[in-house]
Amino acid sequence: MIERALEKIAEQIIALDEASLSQLRRKYLERLFHFEPTKEWEKAVIIYFIINGVIAKNNLFNRHILERQKGEKKQTEQRVTKEKKRRLKLIK
């Protein structure tokens, strides 16, 4: 039950725009540093870390995509090189 609730929250958060979240980041960071024993302060802390989580997730995602593209490019280059070598005939 808790896991389902968290999954629904994650789906909603994934749909949010990182640029918009980044603009809110400073606001919640300031609230985080001005401690008050209130629910609003607690929510501000959670929101700040959610924003950071989205940014971190996007950075990891982009890094993996780049690595995958580099790997595919390298494989393509290796394949082309092998094909060129096959076409060459050794003449003695």
pLDDT in tens, 48-68: 999 988 888 888 988 988 888
Domains: count for the chain:
1
Quickly count: other Cβ atoms within 10 Å of residue 27's Cβ.
Answer: 13
Within a domain: 21: yes
Within a domain: 87: no
Within a domain: 22: yes
Residue 7's pLDDT is what?
A: 92
Within a domain: 1: no
Within a domain: 2: no
* DSSP 8-class letter at 25: H
Within a domain: 67: yes
Is residue 75 pLDDT above 90, yes or no? Answer: no
Q: Is the entire prediction scored with pTM above 0.95? A: no
CA angle (78, 82, 87) in 5-degree steps: 150
Q: Which domain range does residue 38 map to?
A: 14-77
Q: What is the pLDDT of residues 15-46, one digit of tens each?
A: 888 888 888 888 899 998 989 899 999 999 99
- Write down the residue that tokens 């060129």 correspond to: 84
